[in-house]
Each structure stands twice: as structure tokens, then as C-alpha cells.
Amino acid sequence: MTATEGVGRRRFLALLGAGAAGASLPALVTGCAPGGKGTGPAAGGNRPLSAAFYQAINDLDPHGPSAVDEASLLANRQIYDTLATWDGEKAAPSLATSWRQPDETTWEFTLRDDVVFHDGGKLTSADVKASLERLAASDGPQKPLWSTVDTIKAPDTHTLTITTKEPVGTLLVNLTLAFILPAARLGKGDLSRKAVGSGPFAVESFTPSSELLLKPAPGYWGGAPKLAGLRLPYIPESSTRMTSLQNGEVDVTWIIPPDELERLRGVDGVTIESKPGVNYFLTWFNCGKKPFSDPRVRRALLHALDVRTIVSSLYGDAAAVMDAPIPSAVFGHAPQKPYEYDPELARRELAEAGHGSGIRTSMMWFKDTGPLATELAQSIISAWGKVGVVVEPQQIEKAAWLKRLTALDWDIELQVNTVTTGDADYTLGRLYTSEANRMGYANKELDGILAKAKATSDQDERKSLYGRACEIIWRDAVGVFPAALAATYGLRSTVAGFVPAANSQPEFRTVSATG
């Protein structure tokens, strides 16, 4: 069965009309927002919408091992809420109506009193406390963001107090990733399959690595969704997604490869929207493993790459050559001097490092990590082959890649990373510390800079400190940072109210679809 077969558009319309698995939905598609704000989607005449991403949604537990995967975050944004959201370069209220700092290590939040979970329970500070404590205690990828939390208290139903061990200037940014679940559900059942949140959409059905069907949540505190339903199918092949968009089987899709982008620009009924993105390719060296423990080897491999030509030939206007270990759209970005393309210099540096006769190594990646990922890997491998570095390509399944990545069982790895919060701390402060040990790299000077940047609330000071961090990581050649991907979306002309998201996690509550 292909990705576009199974539950197609007509079937999805039928599901929302008659209910999936015998469930009836009239109450969900005709409800009104709290306080009489707006009418439900059925009254507005809108239909369900299908939005196809290129990565599979495997897990709906927002605190689990897939908590920062792009596909999981896409789903989480629809199903769950957070205390705060990010509005440009500042936090905005969500479940919390306001917050204050009585002192530099204490944060006090006032919560909304009109929030209802999808199972009918009313949200209180106990739910927020339990969710944040579970997140802080988890072994998931968000754990470094919460290492400084000391205590979380719920003095009354709608007040929450977080005390940190030291000043944390990034707490509000981190809270935009802290999704809240009912306390009564934690520790009970498989949260990766059975999701209950307080967001604008509730889960209708979920087939991991295949499809997520969502329905409007009744009485959503932020106003009822305009859509009658939301379908998130997994369609890994770019050409299939673009064809599905063109013929109306899907209404929205992203990320779009350059060749497909040119084709879509001439298609009637399809519009293209784009903005600078926070998704980017990186190729880490395992700096704790020979020969990549020697920075001379790492720098030599950077000099062996004509990054600008590789990126231009593969991506054209769909990506920008990076000049730092984070994209230019991220707060804290500081441009660095590019490594000069000089194969002869690369050979000399390899010889000086004791590898004049060459190196045999390997690179791993998973197929769906990003657009033209295999072609990018092949271009890099080919260039390194010309200076005597023979790289075995290892395209593996994502689960195997993730297991090996976290175990540091690799030589070189290629992936797409996302600075989900748009703030440098999310990537630099989470991945590049000695304690994180994500690529076998340790630098005490960098540790101190990142710790100081995390602690201060002075945004100018934070920006300066992250600039220094960019310089160190770039100088030490921890990896290759070839391309930042533009956030480009293809939409049917029947879609209105869609706002492109730089982090590939668009929210659909205010989107409508007609026709």
C-alpha cells in the first residue's frame, strides 16, 4: 500500500462525518469556543485538511525519546499546550496568563482558569507541576534544558512556582517546548500512542509511521479550530507529496526540494510561501574517536569541501550556505570566516597529522533526514575521496541511526537539525557541552561560555556570548555545517490563514480549507 492509499481524502471526510472506529463526532465539529468566541468549524463550512510532512510521526509522548523530532513536535503543537509561546524574540502567554520573578532564581506563573483537557478534566497547577517534573526527570533529549530546575511547587490551583539552582535566562524559551498533560494520565498506559492534551485538536486515530488523524477539541480555550479535521499522513517520497498536492489529495506540504519547487511554481491552484528557516544540515565528526580526535584532521576535511558549489548545485535558492554552526535566522548567530576550499592544503594537513597515506572511515545517515540528503552525502564523500579519505556510506533506518548516534557508535554522521525555539541555547547549550557529549567533543572554555549565556537574562550579553560559542565550535571544526534550508511550503489555493513556520512546525488552529 502506498503512502497516498489507505485513508485518502474521501475516506477522511467520511471518517469525520461518521466517526472513526465507531466514534461519533457531531459534538466536536459543532462546538463553540469558550465564552462564545466564534463558532465551530461545521458552522463555518470548512472541511478537513490534509498536511503532509516528509518525516514520520512515530511517537505522541511529548516527554519521550522522540520529544524533539520535527515530526513529533509538529503533532505536539496541535495536541498539547505550553505555559508560553514564542512571539518573535520574546515569550507570549499561553496556559500562563502572566509571570514574574521575585528573585533571580524564582519564577511565579499565573495559570488560565478555563482550560479543559481532551478527556474532560480541568487543567490545574498540579497538572503543570507533574508534567514539568516528568520532563525534568526524563532521559529524553530535552533533559539538558531542565538540569538547573531545583523545585516546582503548586501553592494553589492556578499558581505555579519554579525555583532553579542558579539563574536561568532561557527558562521561558525552554517552556515553549514543555507540553502539558493531565497528571492523572502520567505513568498510566502508553502515552506514545494515547495522547491527551489541552490543545486545539484531539487525536481521532494514530498509526505510527503512517498517519495521524485529528479532530477539533470541544471548548478549546483559545477559540475553536476552523477546520473540521486535520490529517497528517506520512509521505516520504518528495515526488509523491508534490503530486498529491498538485492533484488535491493533500492541501499543504513541506519541505520542498529545489527541482520540485520549480515545477510547483507553475501549477494552477498551488501557491508557494517561504521564509528563512531554522532547519539545517550538519555533519558531525566523532571527536572522541581517532582520527577525528585530532582537530587537524577535521580542519583538513573542511578544506577539502567546496561547500558553496555543492549547496548551490543541489539546492539553489532553497538553501543558504551556512557561516556558523547555527542558521542566520537563529538568535545568537554570529558569522564566521568560511574554510577556504583548498584540496592541496587538505592533503598537507592530513600528512602533517600522520595520515599521508589516507584514511578509511564511514558516514551514517537515514534516508528521510532531509531533502536530497543522500545526494548531499554522496557529494561530500566524493570530495573527501579526492584527498585520500575513503568513506563507506551507511544509509540506515532511523531507529538504528538514533541508537548508534546516542551510543557514539559512528565515525561521521549526517542529519538535519532544527533550532526549534529559534534560540541558540536550544542547539549550542543542549548539544555542545562536555556533559552532553553528543559528538565526543569537550571544551571547558565553551562550557563556561554556554553556562554564562544560559544564566543571564540580558539579551545583548546572551547574543555576544553565543557569538563566542559559534567562533569556538567553528574554529575547532566539530563538524561540517553546509546548508540552512528555507522554510518553504506548498499550499492549495483553497487554504486560508496559513502561517509558514521557520521550524517546520506550523499550527493549524486558525487555518481554514474550502472547496
Q: Are residues 283 and 381 in the same domain?
A: yes
- Please report, for the domain that includes residue 167, its CATH number: 3.90.76.10
User: Structural domain tally of the chain?
Assistant: 3
Residue 271 in domain: no
Give the dihedral sign, CA 161/162/166/170.
negative
Predicted TM-score (pTM) of the model is 0.76
- pLDDT reading at 372 higher than 80: yes
Q: What is the pLDDT of residue 515?
A: 80
Which class for 478: exposed (0-12), middle (13-18), buried (19 or more C-beta within 10 A)? buried
**Number of residues that make up the chain:** 515
- What percent of the chain is predicted at pLDDT more than 70? 91
If one counts every other C-beta atom within 10 angstroms of the C-beta of residue 386, the result is 11
pLDDT one-digit tens code per residue, 53-91: 988 999 999 998 888 888 999 999 999 999 999 876 778
- pLDDT tens by residue, 295-331: 999 999 999 999 999 999 999 888 999 999 999 999 9
**173 and 285 in one domain?**
no
Percent of the chain with pLDDT over 90: 72
Identify whether residues 408 and 443 lie together within a single domain.
yes
- Regarding whether 89 and 73 lie in a shared domain, the answer is no
In tens, the pLDDT along 141-171 reads 888 889 889 999 999 999 999 999 999 888 9
Spatial contact of 81 and 94, defined as CB atoms under 8 Å apart: yes
Helix then strand then coil, % of the chain, to nearest 5: 35, 25, 45
pLDDT at 4 over 80: no
pLDDT at 333 over 90: yes
Residues 246 and 118 in one domain: no
Confidence class for position 441, pLDDT limits 50, 70, 90: very high
Phi/psi-derived region of residue 237, left when phi > 0, alpha when psi is between -120 and 50, beta in every other case? beta
For residue 269, tell me if it sits in a domain.
Answer: no
pLDDT tens profile 409-428: 999 999 999 898 889 999 99
Does residue 1 lie in a domain region?
A: no
In a domain, 178, yes or no: yes
Whether 122 shows a pLDDT value over 90: the answer reads yes
What is the per-residue pLDDT for 414?
Answer: 98
Domain shared by 229 and 352, yes or no: no
Whether 262 is covered by a domain: the verdict is no
Contact present, 245 and 264 (Cβ < 8 Å): yes
**Is residue 396 located within the same domain as residue 461?**
yes
pLDDT at 88: 63
Mean pLDDT for the stretch of residues 351-375: 94
442/387 same-domain check: yes
> Considering only 101-110, 184-193, 212-221, which range has the smallest mean pLDDT?
184-193
**Over the stretch 39-56, which tens digit does the pLDDT of each residue have?**
333 434 479 999 999 889
At residue 461, does pLDDT exceed 80? yes
CATH code at 380? 3.10.105.10
**Do 284 and 397 belong to one domain?**
yes
Last-in-domain residue among 185, 213, 243: 185
Residues 482 and 505 in one domain: no
Among 462, 392, 422, CA closest to 176: 422
Final residue of a structural domain among 146, 163, 185: 185
- Among residues 421, 450, 423, 455, the alpha carbon closest in space to that of 435 is found at 450
Q: Which CATH number belongs to the domain containing residue 58 in this structure?
A: 3.40.190.10
pLDDT at 104 over 80: yes
Q: Are residues 151 and 203 in the same domain?
A: no
* Residue 18 is assigned to a structural domain of this protein: yes
Asked if the model's pLDDT at residue 14 lies above 50, the reply is: no
Q: Is the same domain home to 57 and 111?
A: no
Give the pLDDT of residue 354: 97
What confidence score (pLDDT) does residue 465 get?
97
Q: Which of the pair, 318 or 339, is modelled with greater confidence?
A: 339
Res 261: pLDDT? 87
Q: Pairing between strand 252-253 and 49-52?
A: parallel
Q: Is the pLDDT of residue 456 over 60?
A: yes
Q: Domain limits at 371? A: 276-486
Position 455 in a domain: yes
Average per-residue pLDDT in the chain?
88
Q: Is residue 101 one of the residues assigned to a domain? A: yes
